[in-house]
């Protein structure tokens, strides 16, 4: 794992997003997506031999975190981290265009697909990849599928695609099942929430430094300083948890670290959003202010791929399975 490369990737994506004028009509920024395609950042973390841009999990996480920080309306987690990874594991060719992923189990009849699949960003996808009941990965075109549109609180597409006897490509992915796919999705959302939480902290710091009440900046008031310190502590915990989960997953030992990261991020999301809006006052609720774009994502992402209660149960069960909680917590043995 090359930490310098991950930092360089993050800086490059930061430059693209800082200079980009959003055009997120319908919850999808097609111009930004084209920029990411042109630079190869849309499929970073997917091996070049599989049609991706190369790099590892840390590089993919760098792109995901920066995109979340800027509330970028593009499906970086769903494409590279999930769909591209699953296609690569199955040894299938990476389709052209935007390939989205579904966590629903696909119902195949031979090499044909019929039925309904929940597909985030489905209306913008060219292809969809999913697992079947027997653990096979299948890829099919979205052309001809009926779209039942939906969205989360942040306005990100959360659609249902209805297929009627369409042909698929399929193969058995190595070491992948529905649980592993959910685990990887939870990792992605943990990284995204850490990025979005960082944006709340930066915006709050800037606001309380610039806003003057009773003749002095808000940042000079003790109560504001206490709220800002609590916010910074929560954001730090979310970042540390997400970084540790990325490192563990890259080393092939993900379950405990990802569960802990998702618990920390999902529970922290509510605290970060609440303090962030409190420090901004009514300003943060206006449609023109970027704070709402990141906090609605925090509220949405905390529930996706399992909320904190789901992962607390998983984490507790894993610790019980290990037979002793102290070595698990400390990493000793």
> Are 167 and 224 part of one and the same domain?
no
Report the distance separating Cα 288 and Cα 311, nearest Å.
34
Report the distance separating Cα 219 and Cα 198, nearest Å.
18
User: Of 291, 275, 273, which Cα lies nearest the Cα of 227?
Assistant: 275
Q: What is the 3-state secondary structure (H, E, C) of 150-166?
A: CECCCCCEEEEEEEEEE
Give me the number of domains the chain comprises.
2
> Are 323 and 194 part of one and the same domain?
yes
pLDDT tens per residue, range 129-166: 999 988 899 999 999 899 999 999 999 999 999 999 99
Its domain, for residue 203, covers 178-330
Report the distance separating Cα 54 and Cα 2, nearest Å.
12
Looking at 171, 194, 209, the residue that finishes a domain is 171
Spell 185-216 as b/e; 16+ CB within 10 A means b. bbbbbbbbbbbbbbbbbebbeebbeeeeeeee
pLDDT tens per residue, range 295-319: 999 999 999 999 999 999 998 888 8
24 or 248: which carries more pLDDT confidence?
Answer: 248
> Are 195 and 148 part of one and the same domain?
no
312: domain CATH number?
A: 1.20.140.10
pLDDT band at residue 281 under the 50/70/90 scheme: confident
Mean pLDDT of 206-235: 91
Pairing of strands 99-101, 127-131: parallel
Partnered with residue 198 across adjacent β-strands are none
Looking at 124, 146, 171, the residue that finishes a domain is 171
Residue 286 has pLDDT above 80, yes or no: no
> Are 154 and 208 part of one and the same domain?
no
pLDDT reported for residue 26:
56
143: domain CATH number?
A: 1.10.540.10
> Are 157 and 219 part of one and the same domain?
no
Report the distance separating Cα 248 and Cα 259, nearest Å.
11
pLDDT reported for residue 83:
95
Residue 6 has pLDDT above 60, yes or no: yes
> Are 234 and 270 part of one and the same domain?
yes
> Are 216 and 132 part of one and the same domain?
no
pLDDT reported for residue 79:
94
Residue 1 has pLDDT above 50, yes or no: no
Q: Yes or no: say if 151 and 131 are a contact pair by the CB < 8 Å rule.
A: no
> Are 255 and 156 part of one and the same domain?
no
pLDDT tens per residue, range 59-99: 999 999 999 999 999 999 999 999 999 999 999 989 999 99
Q: Yes or no: say if 134 and 105 are a contact pair by the CB < 8 Å rule.
A: no
pLDDT band at residue 175 under the 50/70/90 scheme: confident
User: Of 141, 29, 161, 49, which Cα lies nearest the Cα of 95?
Assistant: 141
At 254, give phi and psi (nearest 5°): -90, -35
Whole-prediction pTM value? 0.93
Alpha helices by DSSP H, listed for the chain, are 3-18, 30-39, 57-69, 76, 85-89, 178-210, 222-250, 255-280, 291-301, 308-322, 325-330
User: Of 303, 285, 282, which Cα lies nearest the Cα of 294?
Assistant: 285
Report the distance separating Cα 201 and Cα 220, nearest Å.
17
> Are 109 and 16 part of one and the same domain?
yes
Looking at 132, 147, 171, the residue that finishes a domain is 171
> Are 36 and 112 part of one and the same domain?
yes
> Are 98 and 128 part of one and the same domain?
yes
| Cα separations in angstroms, 89 against 61, 121, 176, 184, 214 | 19, 22, 8, 13, 60
> Are 204 and 299 part of one and the same domain?
yes
At 108, give phi and psi (nearest 5°): -100, 145
């Amino acid at each position: 794992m090359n930490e310098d490369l991950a930092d360089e990737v993050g800086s490059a994506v930061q430059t693209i997003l800082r200079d980009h004028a959003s055009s997120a009509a319908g919850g999808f920024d097609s111009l930004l997506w084209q920029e990411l395609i042109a630079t190869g950042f849309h499929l970073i973390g997917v091996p070049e031999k599989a049609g991706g841009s190369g790099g590892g999990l840390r590089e993919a996480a760098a792109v995901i975190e920066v995109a979340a920080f800027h509330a970028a309306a593009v499906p970086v987690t769903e494409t590279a981290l999930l769909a591209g990874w699953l296609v690569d594991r199955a040894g299938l060719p990476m389709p052209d265009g935007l390939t989205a992923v579904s966590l629903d189990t696909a119902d195949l009849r031979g090499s044909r697909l019929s039925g309904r699949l929940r597909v985030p960003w489905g209306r913008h996808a060219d292809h969809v990849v999913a697992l079947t009941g027997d653990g096979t990965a299948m890829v099919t075109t979205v052309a001809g599928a009926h779209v039942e549109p939906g969205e989360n609180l942040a306005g990100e597409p959360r659609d249902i695609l209805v297929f009627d006897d369409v042909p698929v490509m399929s193969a058995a992915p190595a070491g992948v099942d529905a649980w592993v796919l959910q685990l990887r999705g939870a990792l992605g959302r943990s990284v995204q929430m850490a990025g979005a939480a960082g944006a709340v902290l930066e915006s709050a710091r800037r606001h309380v430094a610039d806003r003057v009440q009773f003749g002095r900046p808000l940042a000079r008031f003790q109560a504001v300083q206490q709220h800002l310190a609590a916010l910074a502590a929560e954001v730090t915990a979310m970042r540390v948890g997400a970084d540790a989960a990325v490192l563990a997953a890259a080393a092939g030992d993900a379950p405990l670290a990802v569960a802990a990261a998702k618990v920390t991020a999902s529970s922290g999301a509510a605290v970060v959003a609440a303090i962030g809006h409190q420090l901004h006052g009514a300003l943060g609720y206006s449609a023109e202010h970027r704070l709402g774009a990141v906090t609605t994502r925090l509220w949405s992402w905390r529930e996706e791929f399992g909320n904190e209660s789901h992962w607390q149960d998983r984490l507790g069960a894993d610790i019980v399975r290990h037979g002793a909680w102290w070595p698990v917590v400390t990493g000793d043995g």
